[in-house]
């Protein structure tokens, strides 16, 4: 990420604190673990699930050279791609009198394999690339979501079974805490070679309300299929520490802020093994995209060493992932 020619602005962030990240994800898992156990009324059905998952994911963002979005329109672009994550998942569901539905999910994951590319451009539309590094991408992921809805039941004569349609409203948090290491400079050719001591961090969070629908049908007496579709409205905030940049402050080198929207689609199949136990398989797609926002860069004045913050245009951030999960489900 090169120096910026942008307008003065106010820094609106604090110091990065990475220590609560795992605690936050584990806290979400703990909430869901007790989510169903707290309900014991006769007209309530509840279940809790826990299992393992695999995710393939990508995060991309880019910025412009100025606050007006020029000089050039894409100055720097970062892309974490082909990230393979091993995860633990938990979920809970409470059905009150077959009308009110309460549902929650949470996950924590570690990147076991991933790539990163950092490119800088002197021309508009990703032209005149003057710097590129290809690196190892790593990090962690955490997410949690809670929702409530009202169920509408009907009898499907074509299959002779009941189905339900549930409008939902909820709130979700998604966090990606990514790293860049084992760097290799690939452009310009004159500077090609390993990048020593690279240990960059980019901590991104998307959180906000969502609207959705759940469609459920009993495929057989022991198997049910559920389709979830959610539309998310999110605040996006990311804090970065570019450890090799002596002209940037540490640990908060720059801050990204904007609004975003996203679509989450889940397909779930649950097969009952006994009246109390079932196996649940879930496949989920996430696609989030940020609007234009602010990139607040904490530059350090070369002469005085004082903080010299500047603001440029944050063009967008995009998060995409596909997840497969296998869980054991306990009904009580």
Domain with residue 229: its CATH number is 2.40.128.90
pLDDT attached to residue 35: 46
- Please give the residue that has the higher pLDDT: either 155 or 285: 285
DSSP for residue 248: B
Domain interval for residue 77: 7-331
User: Could you report the per-residue pLDDT of 224-253, keeping only the tens digit for each?
Assistant: 999 999 999 999 999 999 999 999 999 999
CA atoms of 173 and 142, how far apart (whole Å)? 8
pLDDT attached to residue 2: 60
DSSP letter for each residue of 272-329:
ESSSSEEEEEEEEEEEEEE-SEEEEEEEE-TTT--EEEEEEEEEEEEEEEEEEEEEEE
**Element (H or E) spanning 27, and its range?**
helix 20-35
Residue 145 lies in a domain: yes
Residue 1 lies in a domain: no
175 pLDDT higher than 90: yes
DSSP for residue 259: E
- The closest alpha carbon to 100, from 33, 166, 35, 156, belongs to 166
CA atoms of 289 and 316, how far apart (whole Å)? 7
CA atoms of 257 and 244, how far apart (whole Å)? 23
Query: Both tokens of residue 55?
Result: 């995710």
Least confident of 21-30, 118-127, 314-323: 21-30
Q: Stretch 7-17: mean pLDDT, rounded?
A: 41
- When the pLDDT of each residue in the chain is averaged and rounded to a whole number, the result is 90
Residue 196 lies in a domain: yes
Least confident of 26-40, 107-121, 160-174: 26-40
Residue 117 pairs in a beta bridge with 79, 134
Residue 155 lies in a domain: yes
Residue 198 lies in a domain: yes
Residue 48 lies in a domain: yes
> Buried b vs exposed e over 49-72: b needs ≥16 C-beta within 10 Å?
bbbebebbbbbbbbbbbbbebebb
223 pLDDT higher than 60: yes
Instruction: Please identify which residue in the block is written with the tokens 């093994």.
Output: 273
pLDDT attached to residue 323: 98
Q: How confident is the model at residue 85 (pLDDT cuts 50, 70, 90)?
A: very high
CA atoms of 301 and 289, how far apart (whole Å)? 34
CA atoms of 105 and 121, how far apart (whole Å)? 41
Residue 277 pairs in a beta bridge with 330
DSSP for residue 251: S
43 pLDDT higher than 90: no
- The closest alpha carbon to 59, from 95, 41, 27, 85, belongs to 85
Residue 2 lies in a domain: no
- The closest alpha carbon to 180, from 264, 93, 253, belongs to 253
Q: Angle at the Cα of 30 (from 21 to 58), degrees rounded to 5?
A: 45
Residue 218 lies in a domain: yes
Domains: count for the chain? 1
Q: What is the pTM of this model?
A: 0.87
11 pLDDT higher than 50: no
User: Could you report the per-residue pLDDT of 253-311, keeping only the tens digit for each?
Assistant: 999 999 999 999 999 999 999 999 999 999 999 999 999 999 999 999 988 889 999 99
CA atoms of 241 and 95, how far apart (whole Å)? 45
């Amino acid at each position: 990420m090169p120096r910026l020619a942008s307008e003065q602005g106010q820094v609106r962030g604090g110091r990065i604190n990475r220590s609560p990240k795992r605690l936050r994800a584990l806290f979400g898992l703990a909430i869901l673990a007790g989510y169903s156990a707290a309900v014991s009324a006769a007209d309530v059905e509840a279940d809790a699930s826990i299992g393992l998952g695999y995710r393939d994911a990508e995060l991309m963002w880019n910025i412009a050279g100025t606050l007006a979005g020029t000089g050039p329109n894409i100055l720097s672009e970062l892309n974490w791609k082909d990230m393979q994550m091993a995860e633990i998942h938990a979920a809970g569901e409470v059905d009150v009198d077959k009308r009110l539905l309460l549902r929650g999910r949470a996950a924590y994951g570690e990147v076991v394999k991933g790539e990163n590319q950092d490119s800088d451009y002197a021309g508009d539309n990703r032209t005149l690339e003057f710097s590129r590094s290809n690196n190892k991408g790593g990090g962690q992921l955490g997410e949690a979501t809670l929702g409530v809805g009202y169920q509408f039941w009907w009898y499907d004569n074509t299959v002779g079974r009941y189905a339900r349609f549930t409008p939902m409203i909820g709130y979700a948090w998604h966090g990606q805490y990514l790293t860049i290491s084992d760097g290799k400079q690939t452009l310009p050719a004159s500077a090609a070679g390993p990048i020593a001591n690279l240990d960059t961090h980019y901590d991104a969070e998307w959180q906000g309300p969502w609207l959705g629908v759940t469609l459920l049908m009993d495929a057989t007496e022991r198997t049910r299929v559920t389709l979830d579709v959610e539309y998310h409205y999110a605040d996006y905030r990311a804090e970065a520490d570019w450890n090799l940049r002596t002209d940037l402050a540490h640990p908060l080198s720059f801050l990204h802020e904007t609004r975003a929207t996203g679509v989450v689609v889940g397909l779930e199949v649950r097969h009952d093994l006994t009246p109390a136990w079932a196996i649940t398989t879930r496949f989920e797609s996430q696609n989030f995209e940020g609007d234009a926002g602010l990139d607040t860069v904490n530059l350090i004045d070369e002469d005085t060493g004082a903080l010299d913050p500047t603001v440029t245009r944050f063009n967008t951030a995009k998060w995409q992932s596909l997840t497969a999960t296998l869980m054991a489900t306990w009904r009580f």
